[in-house]
Amino acid sequence: MKKVTFIQMILLLGLSISSSQVFAQTEQAHKSTNKLETEKTSQATKQIPSLSTDVWQDEWANDWQETTELSPWKFGYFAEVAYGRFMQNNVVESNTSLSELRGRVNVDYSHELFEFTAKGDLLFDEVLQQTDVNTKELNIAFSPLNNLDVKLGRQVLTWGTGDYVFLNDLFNKDWQSFFSGRDDEYLKSASDSVRMTSYWRDFTLDLAWTPDFSPDNYLTGERFSFYSPILKRNIAPNENFIVEQTQDSQWSARLATSIQGVEYALYGYKGFWTTPLGINHQGMAYFPKMNAWGASALTPLSNGIFNVEFSIYNSLEDSQGNQAAIPNSQVRALMGYEQEIVKNLTVGLQYYLEKTQQYDAFIQSTLFQSTLFANEQVDEYRQLATVRLRYSTLQQKLVYSLFAFYSPTDQDSYLKPAIHYRYNDNYSFSAGANIFSGSKPYTFFGQHQANTNVWFRGRFSF
Amino acid sequence: MLNFLKKTRLITLSFLTLMTSAHAAVNVDDIIKKSNLASYYAGEDGSAQARMIIVDANGNKQMRQFTILRKDQEDLGDQDMLVFFSRPTDVQGTVFRVTKKVQGDDDRWLYLPALDLVKRISAGDKRTSFVGAHFYYEDVSGRNPAEDNFTFISSDDNSYLIKAEPKDPSSVEYAFYQITIDKNTYLPMKASYFNEQQEIIREMQVLAVQDIEGFPTVVHAKMTQLSDGSFTEMQFRNVKYNVGLPESIFSERSLRTPPKTWLR
């Protein structure tokens, strides 16, 4: 792969912006076709006496007159520069955890019968030394029946009640983005799916079908290291981390309703573990089959929101729990509460429990394979508590936030402090850190101590 | 001389008391009720396009543009609302849904399109900025009259001046506020919020009213923060009443799939 310098990046970004002007011109053309409509409206608005018209004397004032709402096209763009680095030595190739320049184009076309959405990134990623065009969304949405919505194509899918903790939401996540300080938007990756939502009385039934299995963007060592139980240290295999790919499909379903202000939902999933947790006979990592079902409830409770959710993960290839190379089934449960405790300060608390099924068989099988791993296994009841603090000030322009994961059973933690400053409608800046700590080198968060990083992002939206 | 002054003051005072009692015939609660109806409950339902310009103390400007759909469950009662943001680009596609409740906390939801996330949000403090503007959530959806005690101050040919004191002073940032209500339309044309020192800290002014389908409607208003001169102006256009919004559109479906027919 060719190394792209920052100057080349900027030049290329310039190109992408000038090509986006073509879109702007198309928008302009649409506006002029609406001119007649516009003249009518502006006559009507002239009657409004305005005492302070001066503040409207800018581009926007004209936009308002031109009734952009009537144009079926909508465009949005941003350019973002992001940089992050590790706070200590890490076994990965680069000391930078994030170094990239991104150009985004959003296009929406609204027709009476359908809605077309395209969102794409041109990304110059210096850490991975590659330039990519990433299609974030490319889909068409329509309602073939009165009570049926269909969305076809690349899309982001989300459900469930957890905050950064996912039980029944088994849609693909981008953990590399999450760990590196990219915008939350990038935690949810898109999948090529068909989503059908039907409405019957007070019930909503969602069915999502992903014909080609879409796994998470898990850690491979290209950006972050992870613990190897064999080598007893962190490794960064990167391209040597070979994973057997799966082509089969995933099905996800949700049945939701609301009874007296309480939102209930049932979930089902048929597919695979979304990270390659299994080891096949060739010693290669792969995605074992997994089905899941669960339920959730969410309700307002004394000025806040209370939620509970559980999910049962059936690891189909290890139903007895005695295959050391395949993850056991699990029961996952979550309880959460969020409230604005004082003006502009919101606090969210969550407690999460992950029970490994057939735990005895699980320990026996790992012991049988090697005593090396036995004492490094997760507890039968892995517990996790999270705290979210969010304080907004300067009329929501400045937001301080902290998200903390702490596991009393693993004795490890993950802190995500961040500051976000929205200077105006165009410029925003964010800075933060991903801080991992733990008393053991092999636990869920503890293994990432060397991945602790700080980051900065600046975005120009237009 | 001093005595004389005292006397005149006494006379003036008793005269004022007389006037007030004469005006007691003007039922304050009735005015407030009519004003609440005129401001927030015109028609059975309504739709409007709105925009705000937010100007900070240094003159920096921000913009917001959105479409509002509203349906009353009953006059002076609960209401359903949907707010669809179209500008600026970083909030485009964001939808805010509220069920305003006269008794108890409002239900609120936020849809973030980039994450395909429908987030139930806690009722929270209603006196916090609405999407970064100087208007509070409560200014947009209407403060529940049951939360204040109203007293009549004066009236002239065109308007009533009414004082409102919060029943729970700890729940608000002001000591009291005064509203000027138009005698014809019952629209509050001005609201001044005072601190303990009797200084105005915040002021809402109506800059333009239009008659729309027989409903006098505020189409331009301004909220000023007097401590630093920062302000937000809000304008409405394309205001329509009694459009026949179906109850079914006030649901999660509209967050993901905005009801196009009603947004034109």
| pLDDT category of residue B9 using cuts at 50, 70 and 90 | low
- Of the candidates A293, A212, A217, A270, the one whose C-alpha atom is nearest the C-alpha of residue A246 is A212
CA angle A434, A188, A435 (to 5 degrees): 5
Mean pLDDT over A47-67 rounds to 48
Contact A350/A336 with Cβ under 8 angstroms? yes
Partner-chain contact B116 A50, CB within 8 Å = no
CA distance B245 to chain A (A): 16
- Mean pLDDT taken over chain A: 86
Average pLDDT (B177-197) is: 96
Using a CB-CB cut-off of 8 Å, the residues of chain A touching B128 are 343-344
Contact B220 A47 (CB under 8 A): no
B253 and A197: CB-CB below 8 Å? yes
**Using CA atoms, how far apart are residues A72 and A116, in angstroms rounded to an integer?**
10
Name the helix (H) or strand (E) containing B29.
helix B28-40
Choose the closest CB to A60 out of B63, B133, B256: B63
Token pair 């516009």 is found at: A38
Strand extents, DSSP E, chain B: 45-55, 61-72, 79-87, 95-100, 107-112, 117-121, 148-155, 159-166, 176-182, 188-194, 200-212, 215-225, 231-241
Residue A49 has pLDDT above 70, yes or no: no
Q: A226 pairs with which residues across the strands? A: A235
Q: What is the pLDDT of residues A360-382, one digit of tens each?
A: 989 888 877 666 666 788 899 99
Chain A residues 345-384 with CB within 8 Å of chain B = 346
Question: Per-residue pLDDT for A340 more than 70?
Answer: yes
> Residue A18 has what pLDDT?
38
Put simply, whether B123 touches A (Cβ < 8 Å) is yes
pLDDT in tens, A419-445: 999 999 999 999 999 999 999 999 999
CB A448 within 8 A of CB A226: yes
- Contact assignment for A77 to B89 by CB distance below 8 Å: yes
Out of B54, B125, B222, name the one closest to residue A52 (CB): B222
**Residue A303 scores a pLDDT above 50:** yes
Rounded Cα–Cα distance for residues B36 and B186 (Å): 8
Quick check: helix, strand or coil at residue A412?
A: strand
pLDDT given for residue A370 in this prediction: 67
Residue B260 clears pLDDT 70, i.e. is over it: yes
Quote the tokens at residue A396. Answer: 């929501």
Is there a contact between A303 and B121 if contact means CB atoms under 8 Å apart? Answer: no
> Please, is A151 exposed, middle or buried when counting C-beta atoms within 10 Å of its C-beta (0-12, 13-18, 19+)?
buried
Select from B144, B151, B154, B155 the least CA-distant residue to B165: B151
Report pLDDT for A62.
Answer: 52
Report pTM: 0.86
Which of 208-237 (A) contact B at CB < 8 A? none
Helix axes A35-46, A6-33, angle to 10 degrees: 80
Q: Give the pLDDT confidence of A347-359 residue by residue, as tens digits.
A: 999 999 999 999 9
For tokens 């995605």, the residue is A287
Asked if pLDDT for residue B22 goes beyond 70, the answer is: no
Give me the DSSP letters along B68-125: EEEEESSTTS-EEEEEEEEESGGGTT-EEEEEE-SSSPPEEEEEEGGGTEEEEE----
Check if A198 contacts B (Cβ < 8 Å).
Answer: no
For the stretch A378-414, pLDDT in tens is 899 999 999 999 999 998 999 999 999 999 999 999 9
The sign of the dihedral angle between the CA atoms of A41, B222, B105, B132 is positive
Pairing of strands B61-72, A130-145: unpaired
- The token pair at B194 is 């005072």
Q: Does A113 touch chain B (CB under 8 A)?
A: no
Q: Which of residues 59-98 of B touch A (CB under 8 A)?
A: 60-63, 65, 67, 86, 88-90, 92-93
CA–CA separation, B94 and A62 (whole Å): 23
Query: B250 Cβ partners below 8 Å, 6+ apart?
Result: B69, B71, B80, B81, B82, B97, B99
- Chain B contact probe: residue of A23, A43, A48, A70 with most B CBs at under 10 A: A48
The Cα-based distances of A354 to A227, A379, B157 in angstroms read 21, 9, 71
Within 8 A of B111 by CB-CB distance, chain A residues are none
Bridge partners of residue A276, in order along the sequence: none
Instruction: Please give the span between the terminal C-alpha atoms of chain B, in angstroms, as a whole number.
Output: 70
- How sure is the predictor about A131, in pLDDT bands with cuts at 50, 70 and 90? very high
Cβ neighbours for B114, distance < 8 A, ≥ 6 positions apart: A156, A185, A188, B93
- Could you report the predicted ipTM of this complex, rounded to two decimals? 0.85
Pairing of strands A243-244, A285-286: parallel
Residue of A nearest to B59 (CA): A55
Determine phi and psi for A366, rounding to 5 degrees: -70, -35
Query: Tell me, what's the pLDDT at A167?
Result: 97
Q: Is CATH 3.30.70 the classification given to domain A140-461?
A: no
| Residues of chain B found within 8 Å of residue A339, distances taken between Cβ atoms | 122
Fold of B28-262: outer membrane lipoprotein receptor (LolB), chain A (2.50.20)
d(CA B174, CA B136) in angstroms, rounded, equals 13
The predicted-structure confidence for A76-85, as pLDDT tens digits, reads as follows: 999 999 999 9
Query: What are the residues facing B262 on neighbouring strands?
Result: none
Residues A10, A16, A22, A27: is their CA dihedral positive or negative?
Answer: negative
- Report d(CA A361, CA B48) in Å as an integer: 64
DSSP summary character for residue B183: T
Going from N- to C-terminal start, the domains of chain B cover 28-262
Share above pLDDT 70 across residues of chain A, in percent, rounded to a whole number: 84
Own/partner contacts of B214-220, CB < 8 Å, gap of 24 or more, are B215/B38, B215/B42, B215/B43, B215/B241, B216/B38, B216/B182, B216/B184, B216/B185, B216/B187, B217/B42, B218/B39, B218/B187, B219/A48, B220/A48, B220/A50
CB atoms A396 and B49 under 8 Å: no
How many angstroms away from the CA of B8 is the closest CA of chain A?
41
B131 touches chain A (CB under 8 A): yes
